[in-house]
Copies of this chain bind each other. A is one copy, B any other.
Amino acid sequence: MADRGRPRRFDRENALKSAMVLFWKKGYAGASLSDLTAAMGINSPSLYAAFGSKEALFREALALYGKSESGEIWEPIVTGRTAREAIAGFLHGTAISFTRPGKPAGCLVVLGALHADDAGEAVCGALRDKRVENVAEISERLKRAIAEGELPPSIDCDAIASFYVTVQQGMSIQARDGASRETLLAIADGAMAAWDRLTTAEST
């Protein structure tokens, strides 16, 4: 399909990446069409022909972000040999990823759209869904650790997952405020200082 007709003069993936970086830096509502077309090096009709709408472009940018930027953060959850290593790696990767030189600080999923009424209520909801998924993913990892006998069944997986995701989301704010990589790593260490107490069986 689409073999005939005038060929596209710009690289779609490159343009998408530029859009992703701009959304990451300025948020969904903060990145105007003028900003986007300038960053992507195209005119608005080309943008609409290739991506459909601003919202559709954002959704593609979000998917690209997940593939290209969040791997370092979420891989340890799968690859960590223990739950502790998984969470520690998750927070460590966050600190590194959120302070990568030449890239916007913090996380697109957290900083992309926080107010449901900005311009895109749907976009805001999509990001919130992703954040809720993140808590579930951590919680699942902890439940796996229980099933494998690493952690006692009496622990509150959802509460622990909420705590660690909350720290990670707070790190986005800190990163935006200019916190150094060392500071974020110290914050990650601070969160891990709670690990033993959080994952020890309660006699209650």
Residues in chain A within 8 A of chain B (CB atoms): 25-27, 29-30, 110-111, 114-115, 117-118, 128, 131-132, 156, 158-160, 162-174, 176-179, 183, 186-187, 189-194, 196-198
Q: Is the CB of A190 within 8 A of B174?
A: no
Of B27, B169, B192, B197, the residue contacting A170 (CB under 8 A) is: B169
Q: Say whether A162 contacts B177, CB under 8 Å.
A: no
Query: A197's closest neighbor in chain B, by CB?
Result: B193
How far is the CB of A118 from the nearest CB of chain B, in Å? 5
Contacting residues, chain B, for A118 (C-beta < 8 A) = 26-27, 29-30
Whether B187 lies near A27 (C-beta < 8 A) is: no
CA–CA, A162 and B114, complex, Å = 22
Smallest Cβ-Cβ distance to A111: which chain B residue: B114
Contact among B115, B186, B190, B196 for A30, CB-based, below 8 A: B115
- Distance of A142 from chain B, by nearest CB (Å): 12
If A27-B115, A173-B131, A194-B193 touch, whether A179 touches B163 (CB-CB below 8 Å) is no
Chain B residues contacting A198 (CB-CB under 8 Å) are 190, 193
Chain B residues with Cβ below 8 Å from A164 are 190
